């Protein structure tokens, strides 16, 4: 693997760690404030007041659905991809491709709403959400690139080469 491949893997690994850490915090948009642990509340308040993320504050139905996709698809895929990347599993390409397509689709929907809104925080939110487009595209591209193999494949000269003839 070349330097570009290692850089792509490092970026993806960092992104998978980030999503694994952040995704469980998004659960609080589904829960009443009384159920959310006190440890998490200040982080949510800090983020929403600093960025003015109206999607997290207003919780529109489409955004809640996308957060469900994040929790039940992207979060487990980020866990699997972290493991698959670190251990060079053959299924990594497939899960990376699924992860990238889902992330790219969800982010495009969110950015479409942000760009169509007249909210004062839209410019900052575009800057916050846009890197997810690049990450989704990178994951898709990585999923499409075959893994290099250093071992030669087993070649068999035909079905009878390993079988003994019966007489």
Cα angle 164, 166, 167; round to 5:
135
Report the pLDDT value the prediction gives residue 151, as an integer from 0 to 100: 44
Report the pLDDT value the prediction gives residue 33, as an integer from 0 to 100: 80
Q: Is the CB of residue 99 less than 8 Å from the CB of residue 114?
A: no
Report the pLDDT value the prediction gives residue 152, as an integer from 0 to 100: 44
Nearest to 14 by CA among 134, 111, 127, 146: 134
Going residue by residue through the chain, which has 167 residues, state the pLDDT in tens, using 9 for 90 and above.
789 999 999 999 999 999 999 887 888 888 888 888 888 888 888 998 999 999 999 999 999 999 999 999 999 999 999 999 999 999 999 999 999 999 999 999 999 999 999 999 999 999 999 999 999 999 999 999 987 654 444 545 555 555 555 65
Give CA separation, 15 vs 45, 84, 97, 109, 118, in Å. Answer: 23, 14, 14, 20, 30
Report the pLDDT value the prediction gives residue 148, as an integer from 0 to 100: 66
Chain centroid to Cα 10, Å, comes to: 14
Tokens 């997290």, residue located: 56
Q: What is the CA radius of gyration of the chain?
A: 22
Q: Is the CB of residue 1 less than 8 Å from the CB of residue 56?
A: no
């Amino acid at each position: 693997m070349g330097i570009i491949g290692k850089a792509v893997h490092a970026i993806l690994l960092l992104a998978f760690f980030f999503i694994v850490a952040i995704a469980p915090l998004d659960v609080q948009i589904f829960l009443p404030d009384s159920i959310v642990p006190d440890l998490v509340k200040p982080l949510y308040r800090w983020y929403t007041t600093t960025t003015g993320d109206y999607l997290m504050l207003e919780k529109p139905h489409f955004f809640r659905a996308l957060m469900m996709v994040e929790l039940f698809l992207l979060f487990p895929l980020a866990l699997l991809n972290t493991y698959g990347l670190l251990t060079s599993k053959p299924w990594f390409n497939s899960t990376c491709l699924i992860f990238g397509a889902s992330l790219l689709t969800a982010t495009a929907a969110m950015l479409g709403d942000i760009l169509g809104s007249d909210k004062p925080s839209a410019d900052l939110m575009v800057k916050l959400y846009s890197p997810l487009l690049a990450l989704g595209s990178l994951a898709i591209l990585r999923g499409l690139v075959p893994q290099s193999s250093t071992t030669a494949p087993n070649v068999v000269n035909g079905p009878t080469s390993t079988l003994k003839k019966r007489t």
